[in-house]
Amino acid sequence: MTEYLTIDGGQIAYDVDGAGPLVVLSHGIGDRRQAYRFLAPKLVAAGYRVAAVDLRGHGESSMNWRSHDGGDAISRTDVAGDLLALIRHLGGPAVIIGHSLSGGAATIAAAQAPELVSGIIELNPFTKTQKFAAGAVFTISRYRKGMTHLMAAMIFKSLGQWMSYLNVAYPVKPADYDQYMAELSAKLREPGRFAEFLKTGKSTPADAEAQLPNIGSPALIIMGTEDPDFANPQAEGDAIVALMPAGMGRVELSEGSGHYPHADSSDRVAELALSFLEEHARA
């Protein structure tokens, strides 16, 4: 059942299931909270209270969030504020599992309020400022294909190109892939939704990278080895951990996964997440 949390500027949609220590799931750009449809039940079954949230502008959350200066407010810092507000509302602390942009948001939340965030799990996160790997375009086909479709989606404001990117980003297709993508496409065709998604492409991970040295909670970075967003996913994860306080983070791989390991390899992600939660989640 969808619930709503009113925050200054709009409403955040979420749902909660299970009982036990709190885990908050936050998806990536152009998606919705149902991206965790395979992982969330596994966490609930293991004894956790799981809240899956729609990013501002996405899913059933409200649109047109504005900053105090009148600009768009959909940065990682903005999302981190939403996640912390939800944790307070639900009576944290919580472990945050954040995918892509939300990985960066999890970093910021862990730096800003370690008393509310007992740990963070980042799935293929955009937590560091990116540099286009020009050489990899010629040598790594998944990177070339992914970047071609992703840049075309942003430049030409093309939903078709976004859906083509997703086809590359899911090298392993979940059993319900066609149905899920049809539903996602329909959601993004709702008035204003695709425009909200495009706003996220204008944000950078610089705010998250600046907070990596300041996190006060343990971190697990999970990288899909076939993620088309990174020329070298392992190296990206290692670089994120290297900027954290010594001993605070570690990297694990999901072999064969693309940018969405929580959907294409939920058993592997659940195995890693539950081990982390057993050590760091608290009521």
Q: Residue 46 is part of which domain span?
A: 3-280
d(CA 6, CA 85): 9
| Beta strands at 117-123 and 249-254: parallel, antiparallel or unpaired | unpaired
Dist CA 35 CA 28 (whole Å)? 9
- Nearest CA to 25 out of 109, 128, 121, 125 is that of 121
* pLDDT of amino acid 32: 97
- Residue 212 φ/ψ, nearest 5 degrees: -55, -40
Average pLDDT of the chain, as a whole number? 95
Tokens of residue 122, six digits: 């980042």
Render pLDDT for 69-85 as a digit per residue (tens, 0 to 9): 666 778 999 999 999 99
* CB-CB contact of 138 with 235 (8 Å): no
The predicted model gives 144-160 an average pLDDT of 95
The stretch 87-115 carries a mean pLDDT of 97
For residue 106, the Cα-to-chain-centroid distance in whole angstroms is 9
Q: What integer pLDDT is reported at residue 202 of this predicted model?
A: 83
pLDDT value, residue 143: 93
pLDDT value of residue 66: 82
Q: Which residues pair with 98 in a beta bridge?
A: 26, 122
Region 11-27: what's the mean pLDDT?
Answer: 98
Tokens of 204: 């950078």
Q: Is pTM beyond 0.85 here? A: yes
| Domain count for the chain | 1
Do the Cβ atoms of 104 and 126 come closer than 8 Å?
Answer: yes
pLDDT of residue 71: 67
pLDDT tens, residue by residue, 186-200 = 999 999 999 999 998
**DSSP 8-state symbol, 213:** G
Band of residue 147 on the pLDDT scale cut at 50, 70, 90 = very high
Q: By the 8 A CB rule, do 17 and 44 touch?
A: yes
DSSP single-letter state for residue 91: T
| CATH at 196 | 3.40.50.1820
pLDDT at 253: 98
pLDDT above 90 as % of the chain:
88
Instruction: Return the percentage of the chain with pLDDT > 70, whole number.
Output: 99
How many degrees, rounded to 5, is the angle at CA 113 between CA 208 and CA 111? 30
